[in-house]
Amino acid sequence: MEKVVIMGTGCAGLTAALYTARAGLSPLVLTGTLPGGLLTTTSIVENFPGFPEGIDGCELMSRMQKQAERFGARVRFGTVEAVHLSERPFRLTVDDEQVETRTIIIASGASHRHLGLESESLLERKGVTYCATCDGALPMFRNQPLVVVGGGDSACEEAIFLSRFGSVIHLVHRRDTLRASKIMAGRTLSNPKIKPVWDSVTTEILDVKQDKVIGVRVKNLKTGKESVIDCAGVFVAIGHVPNTELFRGALEMDENGYIVPKHGMESNLPGIFVAGDCSDHVYRQAVTAAGMGCAAAIDAERYLARLNQ
Ligand code: NAP
């Protein structure tokens, strides 16, 4: 029987692991399908305190894992397939095995949002991608025109990163101002290789018949005019959806599926705690996720202490 199972090894999960490990609870920490979380798909993290020169996202996550393991966290590669929360102890199905636990900290993060176009899913990995740091340096994108869709920090980061490889980066955004932070927007708009395409939505990715990306069809929302931008790759960076599907119906969520904490980081079900992007649609920063992981761990520890009284 576990005292604490932590779902997720992003900033929230690994910080919760560090704190519960230091509290002597020997947490079982399950990686899910993306060990290290979304930060492993980014390049340099410049806004995590303590690293004045910035730090590589993978390096930061690997250090967090080592730090948690040093105090007894048990990080295991595994995905939770089902949860049984109606009885105590809680039961999880992890890669066909049953795990019993007195508390769960859900730090399952969020996944990339898709445009929802049929051509997008048919051309995924054939030129459509959701991660410039993972795929941007591929030969198929080198010295080619590329498209980034979105107007937030992620889209700006992708566009700046891709400007090292592509011949020109078209940044297609549905409004005429970027949502991104001032510093990222400034860097993006002053990059000579990045060309914003304002007030425009992507209506189709071309060309499904050729089984590869050769362009995107965009529609200007102000004029209604459609046009085609030639490109070899489309990088979709339009935000995220929380990974909370397993808990639908069991835990209180908002209309977009973010789990709503009720007391500190405890969900509406005592013994189940949340942290990071699966419950935060406002801040969504590495450092706030880490802070929430810390808070969830402290809440879980106090809950267990109360049970033992
Ligand atoms: P975001 O801030 O939610 O931005 C999503 C962007 O995609 C918005 O510009 C939005 O347009 C657009 N969009 C959403 N749905 C769309 C659709 N169906 N079709 C076309 N466009 C669509 O998401 P994010 O950029 O992934 O950032 C998430 C969080 O991570 C933010 O808090 C951000 O600050 C943080 N982050 C920080 C850094 C950094 O500091 N270096 C890097 C990456 C991410 P509208 O603007 O019109 O809504």
pLDDT value at residue 11 = 98
Q: Is 254 a catalytic residue?
A: no
What is the per-residue pLDDT across 206-237, written as a single tens digit (0 to 9) for each? 999 999 999 999 999 999 999 999 999 999 99
Atom index in ligand 1 nearest the CA of residue 184 equals: 41
Atom index in ligand 1 nearest the CA of residue 201 equals: 20
pLDDT value at residue 133 = 83
Average pLDDT over residues 133-144: 91
d(CA 52, CA 192): 27
Q: Of 153, 156, 201, 235, which is best to mutate to test ligand 1, by the most ligand atoms within 8 angstroms of its C-beta?
A: 153
d(CA 303, CA 309): 10
176, two tokens: 């005429």
Q: Is 135 a catalytic residue?
A: yes
For 37-50, letters b (16+ CB in 10 Å) and e give: bbbbbbbebeebee
309 pLDDT above the threshold of 70: no
Mean pLDDT score of the chain: 96
- The set of residues, in sequence order, having a beta carbon less than 8 Å from that of 199 and lying 6+ positions away, is 173, 174, 175, 176, 220, 221, 222
Q: Is 131 a catalytic residue?
A: yes
The catalytic residue among 56, 95, 96, 134 is 134
Please report which confidence band the pLDDT of residue 63 belongs to, taking 50, 70 and 90 as the band edges: very high
3-state helix, strand, coil split of the chain in percent (to 5) is 30, 30, 40
Cα of 86 from ligand 1 centre, angstroms: 36
* Residue identifier of the C-alpha nearest atom 43 of ligand 1: 154
- Of 128-132, 134-138, 213-217, 266-270, the poorest mean pLDDT is in 134-138
Cα of 236 from ligand 1 centre, angstroms: 10
Residue 116 and residue 124 in contact, taking contact as beta carbons nearer than 8 Å: no
What is the per-residue pLDDT across 25-44, written as a single tens digit (0 to 9) for each? 999 999 999 999 989 987 78
Cα of 180 from ligand 1 centre, angstroms: 7
135 pLDDT above the threshold of 90: no
* Residue identifier of the C-alpha nearest atom 3 of ligand 1: 239
218, two tokens: 């965009």
pLDDT value at residue 46 = 86
The ligand 1 site (C-beta within 6 Å) comprises: 47, 115, 149-155, 157, 174-175, 179, 181, 184, 201, 237-240, 284
Q: Could you give the percent of the chain with pLDDT greater than 90? A: 92
pLDDT value at residue 223 = 97
98 pLDDT above the threshold of 90: yes
- pTM (2 decimals)? 0.84
pLDDT value at residue 284 = 87
What is the per-residue pLDDT across 184-209, written as a single tens digit (0 to 9) for each? 999 999 999 999 999 999 999 999 99
